[in-house]
């Protein structure tokens, strides 16, 4: 379990910094929880035969779960005064039950914008032990400046 750290400021961050990640063990119980919680009852998320008939290896975790895992990395890292300004991700490969997933990120740029806000660009991703990176993502985070 990760916890929100002391508030991160723009001055604390530099290009190349790794964002403290976390891991998820994707169990069958976790799959039931995410299907139930999201109420995404499309059969590819809970019926193995249906998923295989549709051409998938196995049932897989849905878009909302994937997005939440990535956003959790950002919100745990940036603190309460941070703001996710832009966020995008690509579900290129599926995460399935029994995968051991790592959620990781790295700072790719920083700048103080003309409006006086500290912007940080980040690459982040989900990867699993079975096939590697499944979901690349990128985000722009606004962080408070110490001097303001």
Q: What is the pLDDT of residues 34-79, one digit of tens each?
A: 777 777 676 777 788 888 899 888 877 888 889 999 999 999 999 9
Percent of the chain with pLDDT strictly greater than 90? 62
Average pLDDT over residues 119-129: 97
Classify 90 as helix, strand or coil. Answer: coil
Helix (H, G, I), strand (E, B) or coil at 134: strand
Whole-prediction pTM value? 0.86
Q: Is 45 helix (H, G, I), strand (E, B) or coil?
A: helix
- Name, in order, each residue with C-beta under 8 angstroms of 93's C-beta and a sequence gap of 6 or more: 131, 133, 134, 135
Query: Which pLDDT score is estimated for 122?
Result: 98
Average pLDDT over residues 113-119: 90
Q: Is the pLDDT of residue 109 over 90?
A: yes
To the nearest whole number, what is the mean pLDDT of the chain?
A: 89
Please report the domains of the chain, with CATH numbers, ordered by start residue.
Answer: 10-27+68-143 (3.10.129.10)
Residue 5, pLDDT score: 64
């Amino acid at each position: 379990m990760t916890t929100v750290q002391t508030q991160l400021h723009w001055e604390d961050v530099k290009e190349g910094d790794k964002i403290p990640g976390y891991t998820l063990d994707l169990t069958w119980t976790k799959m039931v929880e995410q299907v139930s919680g999201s109420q995404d009852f499309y059969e590819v998320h809970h019926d193995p035969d249906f998923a295989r008939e549709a051409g998938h290896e196995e049932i897989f975790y849905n878009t909302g779960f994937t997005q939440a895992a990535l956003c959790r990395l950002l919100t745990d890292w940036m603190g309460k005064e941070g703001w996710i300004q832009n966020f995008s991700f690509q579900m290129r490969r599926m995460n399935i039950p029994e995968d051991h997933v790592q959620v990781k990120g790295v700072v790719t740029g920083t700048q103080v914008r003309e409006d006086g806000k500290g912007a940080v660009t980040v690459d982040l991703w989900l990867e699993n032990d079975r096939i590697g990176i499944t979901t690349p993502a990128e985000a722009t985070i606004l962080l408070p400046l110490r001097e303001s």
